[in-house]
Amino acid sequence: MKNSLILIGGGGHCKSCIDVIEQEGRFAIAGILDKTELVGARILDYPIIGTDEEIPRLVPDHYFLITVGQIKSPSTRLAIYTKLKETGARIATIVSPRAYLSSHARLGEGSIIMHGATINAGATIGNNCIINSHALVEHDAIIHDHCHIATGAIINGGVAVYEQTFIGSRVMTREYITIGAESFVAGGMNIYRDLPKQSRVTPS
Half-sphere exposure of 65 (CA within 13 A, CB side): 31
Longest dimension (CA), the chain: 53
94-144 pLDDT tens trace: 999 999 999 999 999 999 999 999 999 999 999 999 999 999 999 999 999
- Is domain 3-92 given the CATH code 3.40.50.20 in the classification? yes
Burial of 81 by CB count in 10 Å (0-12 exposed, 13-18 middle, 19+ buried)? buried
Burial of 204 by CB count in 10 Å (0-12 exposed, 13-18 middle, 19+ buried)? exposed
Distance CA 36, CA 79 (A): 18
Q: How confident is the model at residue 171 (pLDDT cuts 50, 70, 90)?
A: very high
**Every domain range in the chain assigned CATH 3.40.50.20:** 3-92
Stretch 182-193: mean pLDDT? 98
The reported pTM is 0.96
- Is domain 94-198 given the CATH code 3.50.50.60 in the classification? no
Percent pLDDT > 70 in the chain is: 100
Is the pLDDT reported for residue 204 higher than 90? no
Q: Which residues are catalytic?
A: 139
25-43 pLDDT tens trace: 999 999 999 999 999 999 9
